[in-house]
Homo-oligomer: A and B are copies of this chain.
Amino acid sequence: MTSLGIVAPQSMFFSTPLPLQSGAELCDYTLVYETYGTLNADHSNAVLVCHALNASHHVAGSYSEDASTRGWWDNMVGPGKALDTNKYFVIGVNNLGSCFGSTGPMHTNPATGKPYGARFPVVTVEDWVQSQARLADALGIQQFAAVMGGSLGGMQALAWSILFPERLRHCIVIASTPKLTAQNIAFDDVARQAILTDPDYHGGDFYEHGVVPKNGLRVARMLGHITYLSDDDMAVKFGRDLRSGAYQFGFGIDFEIESYLRYQGDKFSEYFDANTYLLITKALDYFDPAKDFGGDLTKTLSNTRAEFLLVSFSTDWRFAPERSHEIVQALVNNKRTVTYAEIDAPHGHDAFLLDDQRYMNVVSAYFARAYKEIDGGSLKAGARA
């Protein structure tokens, strides 16, 4: 298995205003994206990969020889990999409101000539899907072979299947949920409060003060990390191991787990935008497609046309397997074709990003089977209907 090698992002400007679920609109915007592999003649082999909280359009390949520039799902996407770029044309797109290139809070608000800051409109998973659909239009992709994502990315894939049922043949939803629980929302709100009450946040206008709300972001990220790992995994990786072999009887670092979390928090606070963090957690909290159907997920998914692959991980307590079961059950109620794999993995929510041979095999086999439609030409015989 080789990597994609050096890749480069592209960008596309959209001058048509994008109406948002909130009632606001973005008057214009830029989407940054990457593509890997080659779009085939009838444009039937495109796969859209949607990203989660702190990831981006940089799904696979590297920006330089430096391995640290590798994409966040490089173990999944590439030549000969589970999502095989020798067969599929893969698109990674950075979501609106992010801090990795697409229009976001640090960009200039055309209405004021200053950075959007906290005035960047709250965007939803559905808003992202609408903006992605315009990119697909521009790239000449009427129907995706698959839309795929993990966690918040899985929500986008699910939203695609609801909003544009004819525009994807397969929907791949990994380690995701049809909606956040009260506990999920609670964690998100503590993180947001840490940022919003950091004096360096300056009501979202910290850019012009030349500071960032580092302390708030740091706490938010530390907290996030606890929910990404399983209790068991933390016990195995860190347990009660002490940094220096003995209690320090102070408030510095005693335990290895403290060292790990503070390091993760520090690193994150140096590159991630605080307004983006707020926006993305709101998109997570608001996602609830069944809300407009009286909470009935079966009804919500009744217009979907795609085939589905769902994957969950046994120790994921952020979006537990039960959350995937709800989606599977609603799809089965609608007599959709669903493949479901529950991977017994120790790594909690993070497992969706990690190498696990059974997990990769499931996705690989699914894409191999889906490719037969493309390769065998069965699409023309009506498989798109």
Contact = CB atoms under 8 A, between A and B. Distances in A.
Interface of A: 21-24, 118, 121-122, 179-183, 185-187, 189-190, 192-194, 196-199, 215, 218-219, 222-223, 225-226, 229, 231, 234-235, 237-240, 247, 249-251, 254-255, 257-258, 261-262, 265, 278, 282, 285-286, 288
A180 to B, nearest CB: 7
B218 A193 contact: yes
A103 to B, nearest CB: 17
Contacts of A238: 182
Contacts of A24: 249
B215 A198 contact: yes
Contacts of A23: 249
A247 B286 contact: yes
A29 to B, nearest CB: 17
B189 A222 contact: yes
A225 B257 CA distance: 21
Q: How many copies does the complex hold?
A: 2
A255 B182 contact: yes
Contacts of A193: 218-219, 222, 262, 265
Contacts of A251: 118, 192, 196, 278, 282
Contacts of A288: 240
B218 A261 contact: no
Contacts of A223: 190, 223
Contacts of A198: 215
A309 B43 CA distance: 69
A186 B122 contact: no
A192 B21 CA distance: 38
A189 B261 contact: yes
Contacts of A118: 251
Contact of A182 (B183, B186, B235, B286): B235
Nearest to A195: B251
Contacts of A190: 219, 222-223, 226, 261
Contacts of A286: 247, 254
A192 to B, nearest CB: 6
A257 B194 CA distance: 16
A362 to B, nearest CB: 27
A189 B249 contact: no
Contact of A197 (B185, B218, B239, B250): B218
5 contacts: A122-B249, A182-B237, A182-B239, A240-B288, A247-B286
A186 B226 contact: yes
Given A186-B261, A251-B282, 13 more contacts: A22-B247, A180-B240, A181-B231, A182-B235, A182-B240, A183-B235, A186-B257, A190-B219, A190-B223, A193-B219, A193-B265, A194-B219, A196-B251
